[in-house]
Amino acid sequence: MELQITWLDFFKLVLGLILLFFGLKILSKIAFKLFRRNSYKRKFKKWIEIIFELYKPLALLTIVAAFVIINYKVHGVLILAAGIILFQHIKNYCSGILFKINPLIDPGVNLVTGEYQGEIEKLLPFGLIIKVEQGERFINYSTIDKQGFCVNQKVDGSMRKTLYLLEPEKTDEVMDLLFESPLIDFNQNPSVWNIPGEKVQQIQLTLENGAKIESVIDYLNQFNIKSSLTKQ
């Protein structure tokens, strides 16, 4: 049986998703006030931000799917054409979602990407604004995705860094080597992230005071393990 959606159903769906969005916003604000400890509040706020960051594209995909179902041929061609024309913007937006749900990313964090280094002032849908020596700089998420990034986040006097493992099959060996290295501060355990569609893994780790991420790369290279500050 072919699924059919009328325009009335479509507008009801759009209205329902909008009401659900604002309903979740209200509930999150109420729940936020129930926490007394600031540490719990920060964690809760971050999780809520991730939920809303994922809700937006999922809601948009639902709306697009409903729009296509109304008239498969005509609307399908329109969406396909729009996808081709806006491909780079869509790719940039998706890169932004993955970037913003990173637990280390927040306004105020010191970010290093390419030739730029500065404090993240604002996270926008298609890029971020960082404070640099010359003023403010806008960088889109696709550029950050290509260049890679490093987060200089102070954790008890140590520095949190991002490294890309170019040989994911050696993850266990890498973790063992990092555990033996005096460069790593294990008060904050390293975390490994799989990158969808990529044959690399992202490792986030905390360095001891004075240690440099380049030294970690050289250390791993001694054991024939390839790593980099970027995904390429």
110-228 has CATH 3.30.1360 classification: yes
pLDDT score at 158: 55
pLDDT score at 155: 46
SS3 119: strand
Q: How far is CA 184 from CA 37, 175, 229, in A?
A: 29, 11, 16
Q: Give yes or no for a contact between 183 and 145, defined as CB atoms under 8 angstroms apart.
A: no
Any idea what DSSP says for residue 184?
B
pLDDT in tens, 165-217: 888 888 888 888 888 888 887 766 777 777 767 788 888 788 877 778 888 88
Q: Name the phi and psi angles at 2, rounded to 5.
A: -80, 130
Distance of CA 76 to the CA centre of its chain: 30
Distance of CA 102 to the CA centre of its chain: 4
What is the Cβ-side half-sphere exposure of residue 99, based on CA atoms within 13 angstroms?
A: 29
Q: Which residue has better confidence, 5 or 156?
A: 5
pLDDT score at 139: 93
Q: Identify the H or E element spanning 116.
A: strand 116-124
pLDDT in tens, 121-154: 889 999 999 887 677 889 999 999 888 888 765 5
pLDDT in tens, 39-70: 677 778 878 888 999 999 999 999 999 999 99
pLDDT score at 9: 93
pLDDT score at 156: 47
Tally of CB atoms within 10 A around 21: 13
Average model confidence (pLDDT) across the chain:
84
pLDDT in tens, 77-124: 999 999 999 999 999 999 999 899 887 787 767 788 888 888 788 899
For the chain, what's the residue count?
Answer: 232
pTM of the model: 0.61
